[in-house]
Structure 1
Amino acid sequence: MIGAVATQTVEIPDRRAVAESRLREASTMTLRTAPAALSSAEATSLIRRIAETQDRGAFAALFAYYFPRVKAYMLRVGASPAGAEEFAQEALLRVWRKADSFDPRAAAASTWIFVIARNLRIDRLRGERNIDGFERDPSEEPDAPPSGEAIAIMNERRSRLHAALAALPAEQAHIIELFYFEEHPQSEIARMLGVPLGTVKSRVRLAVQRLRAELEDLGS
């Protein structure tokens, strides 16, 4: 009689999961030294380094700056503290995975990152509603595909807006990004940049005036 041979199953760890776990741990440790400000050009450069060379240092810098901001945004739109932290981590990990798909001509780095976080939350809400048998919120349903004419108009407006933003002085463009895209209060922006509140208000006002002058022919 042939004796039974004992076998042992060895689990092979998922390399991507291990790598992302290490990235998450390393990046979380950098939160204490997060830069007070990160310009759109600097964020774009970090994403490009991630896409081209999988630069972990670049990812750590991006994570340190955007993690608390994405988390705060998630809290503002109704996520729980634990959920906000989870969404922020996953959004930044998706930046790592999809860095090569980022197009700075289509959106600022901050806009791209916040849209990733928003879509994650919408997907989660949809999944929970499907599991529980609830109807979806119509506001979260995708819009009907735009017509060719609408796409052409949107592309022209997007191109004009990016050109107008690029023509602003760097300090005005940075404040517009913080105020309108990242939704920081002006008092917080003043603390972040180490400038008087009056300076922030003045730069926002001047930037808006210049943008209106450049884009007034586009209408509403």
Structure 2
Amino acid sequence: MDAVTPEDHKQLMARIASSRDKAAFAALFGHFGPRVKAYLMRSGSAPDSAEELAQEAMVMVWRKAESFDPSQASVSTWIFTIARNKRIDAYRRMNRPELDENDPALVPDAPTAPDDAYADGEVSQAIRAAVETLPEEQAEMLRKAFFEDKAHSEIAAETGLPLGTVKSRLRLAIGRMRKQLKEFEE
């Protein structure tokens, strides 16, 4: 049977849906297979890719034939919509590469060795102690700049001090901290 009219297409779909009629599917495939491939190629798919996508679309027609509703769309509209969706899915897969599980950004950090954790704790304590020895105006600038992550201009606006004063106090605070923490630089 050579499917040429929309009514013939409906009958073929009904036979595929009701009894998995292979002859009806072959006729439908013979009619729509080349047209779907041509449509996919016009849509930008390479010939090999268009062939594969057309095959996938027609397999979907076979599997989902019972879900075809002639009151919603014609057979050709339904088939070309499936093909279009297959093309979109393939495009999305192509533009969203597989994750490389060995990517350093995805590998969790190794647990901190106990001696390193202890040393980190000692450094943290030394920094806190060094900040406590600073004059209050320098310690305040240091806290705002480093712990609150504020820009120098933000600190100046917030405190009402000139920008140069903020920078001078930070420079003095960092110089004093450096002297006190010299043993940890090694």
Between the aligned partners of 1:130 and 1:84, the Cα distance in structure 2 is 19
Listed as ranges, the matches of 1:34-53 within 5 Å are 35=2, 38-53=4-19
Task: Say which of 97, 105, 108 aligns to 2:63.
Answer: 97
Matched, 1:76 2:38: no
Deviation of 1:130 after TM superposition, in Å, equals 1.4
* RMSD of aligned alpha carbons: 1.6
Between the aligned partners of 1:51 and 1:132, the Cα distance in structure 2 is 36
Listed as ranges, the matches of 1:133-212 within 5 Å are none
State the partner residue of 1:64: 30
TM-score with structure 2 length normalisation? 0.51
Between the aligned partners of 1:84 and 1:123, the Cα distance in structure 2 is 13
- Structure 1 residue runs of 5 or longer lacking an equivalent are 1-33, 134-220
State the partner residue of 1:196: none
Between the aligned partners of 2:90 and 2:18, the Cα distance in structure 1 is 30
Between the aligned partners of 1:130 and 1:79, the Cα distance in structure 2 is 17
Between the aligned partners of 1:62 and 1:93, the Cα distance in structure 2 is 12
Secondary structure at the counterpart of residue 104 of structure 1: coil
Counterpart amino acid of residue 48 in structure 1: A
Counterpart amino acid of residue 12 in structure 2: L
Between the aligned partners of 1:99 and 1:41, the Cα distance in structure 2 is 16
Over 4 Å off, 4+ runs? none
Deviation of 1:132 after TM superposition, in Å, equals 6.7
User: Once the two structures are aligned, what percentage of the paired residues are identical?
Assistant: 52
State the partner residue of 2:94: 128
Between the aligned partners of 1:44 and 1:115, the Cα distance in structure 2 is 16
Counting matched residue pairs gives 99
Between the aligned partners of 2:60 and 2:82, the Cα distance in structure 1 is 8
Larger radius of gyration: 2
TM-score with structure 1 length normalisation? 0.43
Deviation of 1:131 after TM superposition, in Å, equals 1.0
